[in-house]
Homo-oligomer: A and B are copies of this chain.
Amino acid sequence: MMEMTAQKLRLMGGTVELVDIGEQELPDGQTLALPKVVTARFGTDSSKYTVCVYGHVDVQPAKREDGWATDPYNLTDINGNLYGRGASDNKAPVLAWIHAVEAYQALNMELPVNVKFVIEGMEETGSNGLDAMILAQRDTFFSDVDYIIISDCGWLSRRPALTYGTRGNCYFFAEVEGPKQDLHSGVYGGTVIEPMTDLIGILDTLISPSGKILIPGIREAVAPLSDEEWKMYQDIQFDMDNYKNKIGVNQLMYSNKVDLLAHMWRYPTVSVHGIEGAFSDPGTKTVIPAKVTAKFSIRQVPNMDPAMVKKQVTDYLHSVFAKRKSPNKLKVTMVIGAKPWLADTQHPLYEAGKAAVKRVFDMDPDLIREGGTIPIARTFQDVTGKSIIMMPIGGFDDGLHSQNEKMSRYNYIEGTKLFIAYLNEVSQIKKTSV
């Protein structure tokens, strides 16, 4: 994907580099080369602003048998929707930005701003290596960048949106190891304390039945909800029944809009994703799994600190495990530690965004936050000191990370127009106001 992306940008006449970002060490000690990061540049006019578009071309895992109606790795057009893993997260937005540049080129129009690209291939596992690369190129590639644009998110409703915050993510592996290999549950059941019993026991101490996080210190760290926020959330266009029906549940965790949006965007949450090493296929198997690893993650919000969360979770799990007096061994690892991000919605960059949305869609955007994580937003902010805007074009029902992910032709095409208009709006920002 990185080679393909670089080649596409080269053919458009960009100045392209494939940047080596080193290797990754896996929990088992194995090391793997990280996919290179693609950087590209179109235009070097120092009298113009320079924007840098960030995107990623890696995707979440997908298997047909997860419940896809089509082959997840073969883009399939059904009734104006383009189905495929990564269609909305984040390939169509990356392509739409490329098309925006191509549109100016095809019309023989000069780009109103210089456009740079940073495209990576590790976003879905926490943008490994990218932080260091941004830091390393702060005074080179990023030195003339004025604004950073990220389109790795989606609208909240059919109304276009600008996004001003995201949650971070701390992703944990909790491994319980017992016997040296899997055992027949008939032959050995009753003679050993089973790792699955221990793992389930400690996982059950993470969250209350009503969804409250039980790890000491997590909830205490969260910034309190201000009256201004409450008022802003009240005004956002959001249909609770529509949302409930889309998900297909009888009842949401909160029954009023403000509580629901707040827990989606600005409170932490714990999700247990699954267990590796146990029997997970259809049918029956009478096995005592020897080593089982739970995968769970905690969404980060201001003012949480991933380093502190790592300590809180590790200490807590070891303390509840110790109470079990099990002969098995517990190992807790934090494999992703991505911080949350928050922007100022009154910044000229957001005013330009509102104007572009008005021009293409003839309406005002909703100002929203994102429950998911764009790990790199926070790094861009901390390292480069530049202002960032998140400008989504994905639909609210695109099914990111789940079965039948899609991008509609409408959002793909109108989104491309939005990006073209936005480059123009950004070029109009008064220099003094920066």
Q: Is B289's CB under 8 angstroms from A284's CB?
A: no
Chain B residues lying within 8 Å of A235, measured Cβ to Cβ, are none
A231 to B180, CA, bound (A): 32
Report whether A180 and B248 are in contact in the complex, using a CB–CB cutoff of 8 Å: yes
Q: 1/0 per residue A124-135: CB within 8 Å of B?
A: 111000000000
Task: Tell me the interface secondary structure of chain A in the complex.
Answer: loop
Provide the A277-292 mask, 1 if CB < 8 A to any CB of B, else 0: 1111111111111100
Residue A211 interfacial (CB < 8 Å): yes
Inter-chain contact A285/B189, CB cutoff 8 Å: no
With an 8 A cutoff between CB atoms, is A197 at the interface? yes
Residue A181 contacts which of B154, B201, B250, B402 (CB distance < 8 angstroms)? B402
Tell me if A386 counts as interface (CB < 8 A to partner B): no
- Distance A170 CA – B173 CA, assembled complex (angstroms): 31
What's the number of copies of this chain in the assembled complex? 2
Which chain A residues numbered 369 to 407 have a C-beta less than 8 Å away from chain B?
Answer: 370-373, 399-404
Q: How far is the CB of A123 from chain B (nearest CB, A)?
A: 11
Are B287 and A209 closer than 8 Å at their CB atoms?
A: no
The verdict on A167 contacting chain B, using a C-beta distance below 8 Å, is: yes
Q: Which residue of B lies closest to A327 (CB)?
A: B251
Instruction: Give min CB distance, A84 to chain B, whole Å.
Output: 16
Across the two chains, which residue of chain B brings its CB closest to A279? B274
Closest chain-B Cβ to A260's Cβ sits at a distance in Å of: 6
Residue from B274, B283, B403 within 8 A of A275 (CB atoms) = B274
Q: Is A207 an interface residue (CB 8 A)?
A: yes
Residues A370 and B187 in contact, CB atoms below 8 Å apart? yes
Find residues 270-307 in chain A having any chain B CB closer than 8 Å to their own CB: 270-290, 295, 297, 299
What would 5 A/B residue contacts be, using CB atoms closer than 8 Å?
A185-B299, A187-B400, A250-B327, A273-B287, A274-B280
